[in-house]
Structure 1
């Protein structure tokens, strides 16, 4: 399984929008260098308020460009980085990956997928109704969260648009992604 990096984005402040940049540097065990969510412990403000000592399973956020295409088809114009993601991908079924999948990105970076992003109401600040647009129901009526996946950096390295992404599934039985 392979994919491609479409865009990379970062922000040093806690804003929904992350600016597109020519490259990001992933730091092992921390996340994206200079990003507001970088660190060993949680940085997401609501999680810090509950327990600032919990491990940061959301060091890096990835969204599939196919979601942006789907949103555009329904009238939402959302460019890469606008929903807070650090890496926008194409060609990977991010939401279908099991927990602990490793993404080998570019020459040396490795990101381990920890879970699904749980979309929040701040998405409606981008466009009214956007939060509902990134939620769906499956055939059994279960909630489907489509706003990307979260991960931790296992090995650092530079990531640029155009980099290839190789998928390494975890050994043994696979656990479906849950919100983190």
Structure 2
């Protein structure tokens, strides 16, 4: 398992973003240079956990619980076959393009060591938005991506440091539950009856998903 590509985005003006300023950092490009990774701070104020990576729409993106976004190269390859077009690493706006790692099958709370310093913890899957759809230029993309159910994973930073493309990835902790990123994604999008199944992940789960699960259980006793 390794970090195939490390991708950073710059704030770029586009005609389609939901951001009032008309800019987005979704168009991320690979870099060969080492990049500092650290917890950025609270959502709504802080941006990316990667130095030099722009997060423009901070109401829904960035912050400690969504500090880093990872997508498996294998999933991009699968989409290439389905869409009939090439998808470069970084095409989905991911910071980390991995190889040999089942990202959407990762457990909430699972921890990855990347290189010799950085440890990240899986929190949730990525919810697609109109900016993502327009960036790819695929009609009906939000629905297609949601139905596919392989959203990639957001991660929080447990141990900061530097990472670089080519670094080894090691799973250093797997929690004792069966709540995967794919399950969390289905529960908060198309199958809300699955929300109670998220509770064993506890505080490792993204706070918004945990709140949704607790609310659902309170409203559906028994």
CA contact (8 A) 2:27 2:90 kept: yes
Q: CA deviation at 1:150?
A: 0.4
Count how many residue pairs are aligned between Structure 1 and Structure 2: 161
Identify the residue that residue 8 of structure 2 maps to in structure 1.
Answer: 10
Question: Quick check: 1:57 aligned with 2:65?
Answer: yes
1:21 to 31, 36, 57: 31
Q: Return the offset for 1:44.
A: 3.8
Counterpart of 2:100 in structure 1 is 91
The RMSD of aligned alpha carbons is 2.3
**Higher RCO structure, 1 or 2 (CA under 8 Å, sep 6+):** 1
Task: State the partner residue of 2:60.
Answer: 47
1:134 to 130, 145, 148: 145
Q: Which runs of 5+ in 2 are unaligned?
A: 12-23, 41-48, 186-205, 207-222
Structure 2 Cα separation of the partners of residues 171 and 36 of structure 1: 31
- Contact 2:108–2:179 (8 Å) recurs in 1: yes
Can you give the 5+ residue segments of structure 1 that lack an aligned partner in the other structure?
A: 38-42, 49-53, 138-143
Q: What is the TM-score normalised by the length of structure 1?
A: 0.78
Q: Which structure has greater helix proportion?
A: 2
- TM-score, normalized by length of structure 2? 0.64
Which residue in the other structure is 2:80 paired with?
72
In our comparison, the structure showing a higher alpha carbon Rg is 2
Matched residue, 1:140: none
SS class of match (1:135): helix
Q: How many Å apart are 1:24 and its aligned residue? A: 4.3
Query: Does the Cα contact within 8 Å between 1:5 and 1:162 map onto a contact in 2?
Result: yes
Kept after mapping to 2: 8 A contact 1:8/1:21:
yes
Q: Aligned match of 1:150 in 151, 154, 175?
A: 154
How far the C-alpha of 1:36 sits from its partner, in A, is: 2.1
